[in-house]
Amino acid sequence: MFSRKTMMIVGVIILVAVNVIVLSVSGRHHYPPYTLERVALTITAPFQDALTHTIRFTKSIWRHYFLLVSTARENENLKKNLSDVMQRNREYIEVEISNDRLRKLFDFSQNIADEVIAAEVIGIDPSAWYRTIIIDKGRADGVKKGLPVIIPEGVVGQVINSSEHYSKVLLIIDQNSAVDALVQRNRARGIIKGISSDQCIFKYVLRRHDLETGDSVIASGLDGVFPKGLRIGYVAEKTDGNSGLFWEVRVTPFVDFEKLEEVLILLNPSIRVFTDDK
């Protein structure tokens, strides 16, 4: 009727119960029978020892569990606090960089006699063929088509379209752009044309002019758009032109067009010489 396992469990229970009763009865006498007590201790002690160790082990596991949970929560809180501190630090660094950039832009605008307005770059043409940007100033701010756009480093481009609050600027590296320019050192004239990359071509520079790598190229003011003396770029490479009359000159702009964030628009540009401090 009963399995061997069940019988063994029942037997152990009965044996333990008997020994407990014996110990209880013997405990009532001042001098319990030595043999009976020894037998009872021999049988029950291992069970009590195992039970005690089990209880202690369970308590230890329980304490360690709560300790691990508490440590894990503390670790998560520390990670979150560290992440918050790092984010604030990045924000502070960005604010500091922005302030330095705006301070430089402001200082530069103070040296310009013409009326200027600052604008933020809010968009860029994703096309590889057209190099334009969108700024957050438009007709309501006095910005109109044809106005020059600059930064302290040099010429950025020209406004080609404007709405009430936004404008599109054609960069000088666009293939449709053209700026009348001259070499500052020897006054050799030519036309700066964009090539839809980070460089420009300085066209129609006569070969009788001596050009050197690193020569600064500035606006001549003869196109009626960009005031004379505005910095454009420097001569990066000079080769013989196909016609034999002109140099083939590559010019690297002073402006890093990949990092444009704020610009200045000259609202009433005058054809005059800008001071070149560099």
What is the count of structural domains for the chain?
2
The sign of the CA dihedral 126, 129, 133, 139 is negative
- pLDDT at residue 181 tops 70: yes
- What's the mean pLDDT in 95-120? 70
Q: Is residue 260 part of a domain?
A: yes
- The predicted pLDDT at position 184 comes to 94
Largest CA distance in the chain: 132
Q: Which of 79, 110, 141 is the last residue of a domain?
A: 110
The answer to whether residue 157 scores a pLDDT higher than 90 is yes
- Residue 242: both structure tokens together: 């196909």
Task: Judge if 128 and 236 occupy the same domain.
Answer: yes
How far, in Å, CA of 268 to CA of 278, rounded?
25
- What is the model's pLDDT at position 268? 82
Please give the Cα distance from 29 to 4 (Å, whole number). 38
- AA identity, residue 53: H
Euclidean distance between CA atoms 158 and 149, whole angstroms:
5
Separation between Cα atoms, residue 100 and residue 266, nearest integer Å: 21
On whether both 125 and 148 belong to a single domain, the answer is yes
278 within domain boundaries: no
Question: Strand 262-266 and strand 178-183: pairing?
Answer: unpaired
Q: Report pLDDT for 26.
A: 52
Q: Which of 15-24, 168-177, 190-199 has the lowest mean pLDDT?
A: 15-24
Identify whether the C-beta of residue 252 lies closer than 8 Å to the C-beta of residue 154: no
Average pLDDT over residues 139-167: 94
User: Closest by alpha carbon to 276, among 155, 179, 120, 106?
Assistant: 155
Instruction: Please tell me whether residues 106 and 122 are part of one structural domain.
Output: no
Instruction: For residue 249, give its domain range.
Output: 118-266
**Distance (Å, rounded) from C-alpha 122 to C-alpha 137?**
10
Same domain for 178 and 134?
Answer: yes
The answer on pLDDT for 3 being more than 70 is: no
Our measurement of the distance from residue 200's CA atom to the centroid of its chain's CA atoms, rounded to an integer in Å, reads 29
Q: Is 142 found in the same domain as 241? A: yes
- The pTM (predicted TM-score) of the whole model is 0.64
Mean pLDDT within 182-200: 92
| Residue 126: band (very low, low, confident or very high) from pLDDT cuts 50, 70, 90 | confident
Question: Which position has the higher pLDDT, 87 or 35?
Answer: 87
Measure CA 147 to chain center: 32
In angstroms, rounded to a whole number, what is the distance separating the alpha carbons of residues 239 and 202? Answer: 11
The closest alpha carbon to 172, from 204, 153, 190, 195, belongs to 195
Rounded mean pLDDT, 117-140:
89
pLDDT tens-place string over residues 50-91: 666 667 767 677 667 667 777 777 777 777 777 767 766 666
In a domain, 45, yes or no: yes
Helices (H), the chain: 4-27, 34-110
Average pLDDT over residues 21-48: 56
Residue 33: both structure tokens together: 């029978």
Do the domain assignments include residue 274? no
133 — pLDDT class (breaks 50, 70, 90): very high
Boundary-marking domain end, from 64, 88, 110: 110
Residue 161 lies in a domain: yes
Return d(Cα 228, Cα 211) in angstroms, integer.
20
Mean pLDDT of the chain: 79
Indicate whether 102 and 126 sit together in one domain. Answer: no
Contact predicate 239/248, CB 8 Å: yes
Residue 68 confidence (pLDDT) = 76
Question: Is 272 within the bounds of a domain?
Answer: no
